[in-house]
Amino acid sequence: MTNDELRVLLKKAGLTKKSFSEILGTSTQALNNWAVRGVPYWVESWLNLYIENKDCKELKEIIKENICKE
């Protein structure tokens, strides 16, 4: 995964580097170091699962709102 791909996934997840680093319990500088060292192998799958979970939560709320209206 390249840094450009990381930026795209972070944007899709609605996360900034700062918020992502806070979730991970690390510093923003550590994420910035990935530009030199390379993005760890697990980041892409983690972000994809985060995005999928976020989408499921949003869908759940939509369904919940529509069922409660009836």
- What residue spans define the domains of the chain? 3-69
The string of pLDDT tens digits covering residues 10-54 is 999 999 999 999 999 999 999 999 989 999 999 999 999 999 999
Which CATH fold topology does 3-69 show? 434 Repressor (Amino-terminal Domain) (1.10.260)
Residues 6+ apart with CB under 8 A from 32: 17
Between 70 and 41, residue with greater pLDDT: 41
Q: How far is CA 57 from CA 5, 42, 61, 63, in A?
A: 24, 23, 6, 10
